[in-house]
Structure 1
Amino acid sequence: MTTQRRLPRWSELRPLVRTRRPELDATKRRLDRALTIADLRTAARRRTPKAPFDYTDGAAEGEVTLNRARSLFHRLQFNPSILRDVSRVDPSTTILGRPSAYPFAFAPTGFTRMMQHEGEPAVARVAQRAGIPYALSTMGTTSIEDVAAAAPEADKWFQLYVWTDRAAGKDLMDRSLAAGYTTLVLTVDVPVAGARLRDVRNGMTIPPSLTPKTILDMGMHPAWWLNLLTTEPLTFASLSDWPGTVAELINHMFDPTVTFDDLAWMREAWPGSLVVKGIQNVDDARKVVDLGVDGLVISNHGGRQLDRAPVPLQLLPQVVDVVGDRAEVYIDTGVMTGADIVAACALGARAVLVGRAYLYGLMAGGERGVQRAVEILGSEITRTMQLLGAADVGELRPEHVTLPAVPF
C-alpha cells in the first residue's frame, strides 16, 4: 500500500515551534546545561587551570581507592518498595541533633579560594540557604571569623588536624567556639601526606607559582588568573604562604605522633559536638565511640591518602552494627549523585559528607555553581526516594540496597 504524502500546513507546524529568549548571562547558561555533578565537573575542568583542578579531582598514587569507591556506588542495586504513597517526600533529617534539609553536609576542603576566588564564604552562604551543615577546613583560605560573618545562621563545623604546634591548634579551637561553630571535626588519617602524584607532576604550590608553565596556562584560563591576582591574596589560619608543595606543607605542620590520648584530651577541651573523621576499621570505630565522640566519618580522605584503603560504603554496615545508637555514622568518598547519598542512608549512615561535588560547582560558576550542585543532589535524592517507595529518610532500610558480593 502506497503512503499518501502532503506538505504540512503552517497551522500544524505553529504549535511545534518553540522560541526562547536568548540567555545573556554566560554563567547561568553554563549552569542551566549542567544536569548532573559530572556535567559540573566538565564545566569546571574547562574553566580552571590544570593544577588546582587536579588538586580537587585527583587522589593518591594510582587513584585506586577513589575509583573503587565510585565503582561500588555504580554497581550497587536498589530494591524498590511498591505501592507506597510518595506524592510528598521529605528528604530532611537531623544531624547531631540539629535540623538539616538534606542528609548531606559540605565536607571540609583545603585551599578553596584557590579553586575559585569566591571560596569558602560562597560555600557557607549556600549551606545557610540550603539548610545543611558546612565544615571549614584548617587549611581553608578564609578565616574562621570571616566565614562566620558570611553565614551567621549556618550550622558551621570546624575541621582540625592535630598540629605539631599544639598551642596553635588549641587557639583555632577557641576561635571557632567563640565564632559560633557547633562542631569540631578531628581528622585523623593524615599522619603524613599521601603521594598525590598529579600535584607533584603539576608542580602545585600554595599559592600557585608564576612559572613559564603557569604563565602559558594564563592564556588558556585568563578569567581564573585575573580573579586570583585582583582579589585578596590567599591566606590561611597558620601562615600566609608556603614555598613548597601541599605534601611538604602537611608533613611540616601535622603531627605523626598523635594517639588516642590526644582524642581523649580533645573530648575534654571541646564543649560542642565532636566528630572524628578518617575511621577505616571497625575496631577504631569502637574505640573512638568509647572515648565519647558524637559522630564519626568512615573516610579514606577522598582516596587522597593511602591508596587501596577500605571503601567507606563497603565498611558502613559493619560500623553501624558496632556503634549502634551511641554515635552518628557518616561516610564520604566517591559521592557524585543524590542516589549515592540515598544508598548510604539506607545502609545506616546518618548523613554523607560531599566535597568534590560542590567544588566542581564552585569552579564551574562560583556561588551559583555551588547552589546548582545542591539543586542537582537534592532533586536526585527526592526522586530516588520516590522511586524506592520511601516517603522520608527514616523509611530507608538496608533492604533497599544490595551491595555486590565482590566489590571491585
Structure 2
Amino acid sequence: MVTRQVPKPGELLELMKFKKPEFNARKRRLDAALTIHDLRAIAKRRTPRAAFDYTDGSAEEEISLARARQAFLDVEFSPSILRGLPDAVDTSTQIFGGPSALPFAIAPTGFTRLMHTEGEIAGASAAAAAGIPFTLSTLGTTSIEHVRQANPDGRNWFQLYVMRDREISYDLTRRAVAAGFDTLFFTVDTPVAGARLRDKRNGFSIPPQLTPRTIANAIPRPWWWWDFLTTPKLEFASLSSTGGTVGELLNAAMDPSISFDDLAVIRDLFPGKIVIKGVQNVADAAKLVDLGVDGLVLSNHGGRQLDRAPIPFHLLPDVVREVGRHTEIAIDTGIMSGADIVASLALGAKFTLVGRAYLYGLMAGGRDGVDRMIHILREEIERTMKLLGVAALEELTPEHVTQLQRLAPRPKP
C-alpha cells in the first residue's frame, strides 16, 4: 500500500521554480533552437519564400541533396569505452597552412545579404569570434575589403569563379591577395548554371522584384522587408551585373571553356594556398594532386549543379585512399550536424565546410543566429567525440564509422 499525505507548502514551493523571463525576442527564439533543423524552421518562418527557397533548394528534382543528407543519416558509430577522457576534448586542427579552433569553416555563399541584411559581415565576424575561417564567394554581397575589416585578425578565404571575362577573375584574385586572404578556392563544378527550379517557380531574381505574389508573401514578414528597404541596395560587391534570374546571371558570367590552363594562371597570381573545390571523382583528384595543388574540396555544390551527382561523403574514402597521403581533403554538401562533421573526419577528411547551416542561422537571427549555429555544431562535435571515446580529432579513424549501404552500383556493361 502507498502511504499518502497532504503536501506541505514548503515542499510545493521547492517544486515551483520558474525561469527568469527573457524579454529579448531574438535571444529567446535562438536559445530555443537546439539543432540546425530548429534554426531552419525559424528561418523559414522569418524569411520570404523566394529567399528561403534559394538557400534551401537545389537542382532539378533535388536528388543530389537528398542523397547527401541521407548518406550522413546512414552512419553507424562504433564507440570506444573506458578511455579516461579529459573534461574537455580538443576540437582544434591545422588546415591549408593555418589553425582553426573547430574542424569546419563557413562556406562561400552567394547573394548572402538577401537572406539577412547583415550578410557576410555577420558570417565573417562570427567566424572571427569562434576562431574558424570564413569564405567569401565571388557572388558575395560584401566586398573583399569589407570582409577583411570584419575579420581583420582571423583567416579569410576567397572562392573564385572563372568568368568569361578573365580579367574580372584576375582582378578579384589580386584584391584577395592585397587583403591578406590566405586560401583561394578555385571552383570547377559550375561551367554553366544548374536548373534550380524552386528559383524559377518563385520568379527569384537579383534584386528581388515586387509582384502580387511577393507582396502577399511579405505581409507576415514586415521586418524582413523593412530591413531590405532601409539598408544599402542589394547588389554584388565584386561584379557590375546585378539584374536577372540567378541562372541568367550565372550563365552570363561562367565559362564552359574553363580548363587546367586557367588554374595555372591563377596559381601564378595567388601566392597562398590553392584548393580545388568541386572535385567529384578519384581520377580528377589524382590528376590535381599530381599538378601540386594544396588541397581538394569534395563537393557537388550542395546539390545545386548536376542533379544525381556523386555523393561527396560516399566518395570520401576512395579519394582518401588514393591521394590522402599527399594532400589535404575537405568535404561539404549535406552537413547538418556536428555528428556529420565527426563522421567525415573519421573517414579521412581533414576539414569540412558548412553553407546551408550557416545561412539558416543567419536568416534566423543575423549575427546572433550565426553564433548560435556555431555553438550548436561545437556542442554536437564535442559530445560526439566524448561518446566515441576520443579526446582529439586526430584520434578519429575509419574504425569509428560504418557507412550503411542503401545505394549500390550495378555492374557496368
Inter-CA distance 316–68: structure 2 relative to 1 (3 Å threshold) = same
1:162-201 → structure 2 map (5 Å cutoff) = 162-201=162-201
TM superposition shift of 1:21 = 2.2
1:379-398 per-position Cα deviation (integer Å, ceiling 9, x unaligned):
00000000001100000001
1:90-109 → structure 2 map (5 Å cutoff) = 90-109=90-109
1:15-53 per-position Cα deviation (integer Å, ceiling 9, x unaligned):
111122211100000000000000000000000000000
1:12-161 → structure 2 map (5 Å cutoff) = 12-87=11-86, 88-161=88-161
Q: Is the 8 A contact 1:192 1:254 kept in 2?
A: yes
Corresponding residue for residue 232 of structure 1: 232
Counterparts of 2:352 and 2:96 in 1: how far apart (Å)? 13
1:244-283 → structure 2 map (5 Å cutoff) = 244-283=244-283
Counterparts of 2:84 and 2:296 in 1: how far apart (Å)? 33
Amino acid at match of 2:201: R
Q: Is the 8 A contact 1:264 1:291 kept in 2?
A: no
Counterparts of 1:9 and 1:325 in 2: how far apart (Å)? 69
TM superposition shift of 1:240 = 4.9
Inter-CA distance 121–186: structure 2 relative to 1 (3 Å threshold) = same
Counterparts of 1:22 and 1:11 in 2: how far apart (Å)? 24
TM superposition shift of 1:291 = 1.4
Instruction: State yes or no: 1:322 paired with 2:351.
Output: no
The CA RMSD measured in Å over matched residues stands at: 1.2
TM superposition shift of 1:340 = 0.3
1:229-285 per-position Cα deviation (integer Å, ceiling 9, x unaligned):
100111214445533210110000011111122212222222110011000000000
SS in structure 1 opposite 2:219? helix
SS in structure 2 opposite 1:308? coil
1:39-82 per-position Cα deviation (integer Å, ceiling 9, x unaligned):
00000000000000000000111111111111111111000111
Q: Is the 8 A contact 1:85 1:391 kept in 2?
A: no
TM superposition shift of 1:218 = 2.1
SS in structure 2 opposite 1:132? coil
Percent of pairs identical after alignment? Answer: 60
Q: Is the 8 A contact 2:172 2:238 kept in 1?
A: no
**Unpaired segments ≥5 residues, structure 2:** 409-413
Counterparts of 1:265 and 1:348 in 2: how far apart (Å)? 30
Corresponding residue for residue 7 of structure 1: 6
Q: Is the 8 A contact 1:267 1:292 kept in 2?
A: no
Using the size of structure 1 for normalisation, the TM-score is: 0.98
Counterparts of 2:305 and 2:132 in 1: how far apart (Å)? 27
- The farther-off stretch of 152-161 and 8-17 is 8-17
Using the size of structure 2 for normalisation, the TM-score is: 0.96
**Unpaired segments ≥5 residues, structure 1:** none
Q: Is the 8 A contact 2:139 2:239 kept in 1?
A: no
Counterparts of 1:167 and 1:18 in 2: how far apart (Å)? 65
TM superposition shift of 1:211 = 1.2
Q: Is the 8 A contact 2:296 2:327 kept in 1?
A: yes
Corresponding residue for residue 411 of structure 2: none
How many residue pairs align between the two structures?
A: 407
